[in-house]
Every structure is written in structure tokens, then in C-alpha cells.
Copies of this chain bind each other. A is one copy, B any other.
Amino acid sequence: MNSRLNPTASMDLKTWITARLETVEVALDQWVSFDASSDLRHRAPADLMAAMRYSVLDGGKRLRPLLVLAAYETVRAVLKDKPLNLDERGEPAACGAIDALEAGQIADDTALRAACAVELIHAYSLVHDDMPCMDNDVLRRGKPTVHVKFGEASALLAGDALQALAFELLTPDGTLIEPCQQARLCRLLARAAGCTGMAGGQAIDLASVGLRLTQSQLQEMHRLKTGALLQASVMMGTACVKTTPQINAGLQTYGAAVGLAFQVVDDILDVVADSSTLGKTAGKDADHDKPTYVSLMGLDGARAYAQSLHDQALQALADTGLANTRILQGLADMVVQRSN
């Protein structure tokens, strides 16, 4: 097994997160780079790569990669215990089995690539979101946004290139990832990123400024805008090993609940936190007259709703029948309790 993603059995959440964040940072630094030993055929133009690296290697929370790795490791742990007793229905017949024991290295690398690919999509969306024609934001994670630092044209191109790079990471040459896994991961990521996922949610957001949305309309917007990619993170981690329909369904529900909770808490923090804690401009939703969970439900209502989504997420984990889901539980706690 790849030591980078091992072992988890005796780690507490904080130790696990610290170890995985380090793994993810090292991997992103390697894959978004000029490094001739990386998979990239040619060195990308220096200016473009500088803007891409600035966008990605900036100490984000890495919630999406953590969700990918947590889901992967949670399911893998079960497969290690009883690799032969699984119900494998629901898997496409053409998709060859990844045997967790024999092919642990491949599965670990696959999960790490999936984790980084999701983060690249997230990073590109932030770069484009911050541009003058969108949110026109000058501060992100306490630093000048990409277009402020590199110019608008470079920000536009860096975002575009990051999206493509996400799919490059998922489709390496040779046998680094089984072809059927490559296809499944690309499918999950493309749907979560596109017009019926993140980009679609942003378009609804754009069209909703100044409108009074119902809770279900707001929900639909956030399910696409933020929820789709967070849920896809969980599903991509799960897709790195063979699993059961029951586990799949439970983790899908978990991903949806955590994804929505994340946005509700985002709306709360936009009201109650200051810019230096957030690392971005606080209060901008109200300034832009954007509908939020707080404007719809009030602060207490939004807090209660976040808590109920958290409870839904934990229930979904229980429904998977998995024995040890504490890392995923811990990430759900973190999403609801976070202060930035």
C-alpha cells in the first residue's frame, strides 16, 4: 500500500487531516508544475503556469480533497477486511474489479488524483468567480485575487487551463488508473462541474440577484453551485474502490447533506464573521442583494437548518452499515462548526 494514505485506524481526526493535507499539497505542487517528471508532455508557458499555481497553491481549506480521501479510505477499510464478501451489483459489467489488497497502490494513486482533480475544478471556479464581470472581488484567502495579481486575461486562461488539467490528472497514460475508473471519475467530475452542476448553479445565482427566491429555489441553486462538487467529491472517493449499492446510496446522501450544510454555513459566516477571519470580503451577499439562507430564514433559522443537515449526514453514514465512519463524521462536524 502507498504509505501516503496509510494507516487511518488509530489516527484522530486532527492528525488525519494534517497528514492528508500534506499529501494533497505535495501532490498539487507536483501536478500543477513545470516538473519534467510529471505527466505533462510539455512545459506549460511560464506566465500561465504561474497564475495556475498561484490559484491552487494558496492554502485553501481543501475540503473537497479531504472528502474524496475520507470516502475512499472509509470504503477501502471495509474492503480490506472482507474483500470477497461484497455484493457487487450495480457496477457496470465492463468495469474490471479493483482488488483493494492487490491493487492498493493503484487505488491510492487514483484517489489522490481524484482529490486533486476536484480541487482544480474548485480553484478554477474561484478564479473566474472573482473576476470583474462576476463578483469583482479583490481579496481571496487574504491575498489579491488572480486577476488583480496577473491581469484579467491571464485569470481567464488560468481558470480554463485548470479545468482541463483536472481531466488530464484523471486520464494518465498507461496503467496508473484502470481505464474504467478514469471514465467513471471523468463522468462524475464533468457532470458536477458543468451546466447541470456548478456552472448551472452559478448561472442561477447570476440571474437571482435582487429576486426573492423560495427556499426550494435557493436550495436548487446551491445544490448545483456548491453541492454538486462537494457531493461529487464523496462519490469520486467512493468510486475508487468497488462498493455496494447500500454504501453508495448512503454516501451519496451524506455528500448532498454536507454540500448543502456547507453553503448554509457560508451564508451565516458572511453575516457574522469579519473579512480577516474569512480571508475574503465579508458581507458581500447583502451588499450585492443576493438571496441567502440568512435572508430567507433569519440567522437562528439558518443555524438550526445547518444543524439538521448535519444530523441528516450522520444518519446517512449510519445507513451505509459501515462500521467505522468517524473521519467522514468528523468532516461533517467541521463543515458545520467552521469559522471561515
Q: Which residues of A contact B (CB under 8 A)?
A: 40-45, 47-49, 52, 92, 94-96, 124-125, 128, 131, 133-134, 151-154, 156-157, 159-161, 163-165, 167-168, 170-175, 178-180, 182-184, 186-187, 189-191, 193-197, 199-200, 202-204, 206-207, 224
Contact = CB atoms under 8 A, between A and B. Distances in A.
Contact of A195 (B44, B193, B207): B44
B168 A156 contact: no
7 contacts: A40-B195, A42-B224, A94-B96, A128-B160, A131-B133, A133-B153, A163-B163
Contacts of A171: 183-184, 186-187, 190
Contacts of A197: 164
A178 B92 CA distance: 11
A156 to B, nearest CB: 6
A124 B204 CA distance: 20
A47 B207 contact: yes
A194 B206 contact: no
A200 B52 CA distance: 11
Given A92-B175, A179-B183, A195 B156 contact: no
A195 B92 contact: no
A43 B197 CA distance: 10
Contact of A156 (B43, B156, B175, B183): B156
B152 A195 contact: no
A164 B195 contact: yes
A203 B156 contact: no
Contacts of A168: 187, 190-191, 194
Given A45-B207, A159-B160, A160-B199, 7 more contacts: A44-B200, A47-B207, A49-B195, A52-B195, A133-B156, A157-B206, A161-B195
Contacts of A52: 195
B164 A190 contact: yes
Contacts of A224: 42
Nearest to A207: B47
A170 B186 contact: yes
Contacts of A200: 42, 44-45, 48, 161
Nearest to A168: B190
A145 to B, nearest CB: 14
Most chain B CB inside 10 Å of its own CB: which residue of A131, A153, A172, A207: A153
Given A94-B96, A164-B163, A194-B161, A48 B203 contact: yes
Contacts of A203: 44-45, 47-48, 154, 157, 161
A119 B131 CA distance: 26
A205 to B, nearest CB: 9
A1 to B, nearest CB: 22
B96 A44 contact: no
Contact of A202 (B96, B157, B163, B191): B157
Contacts of A160: 124-125, 128, 159-160, 163, 193, 199
B164 A45 contact: no
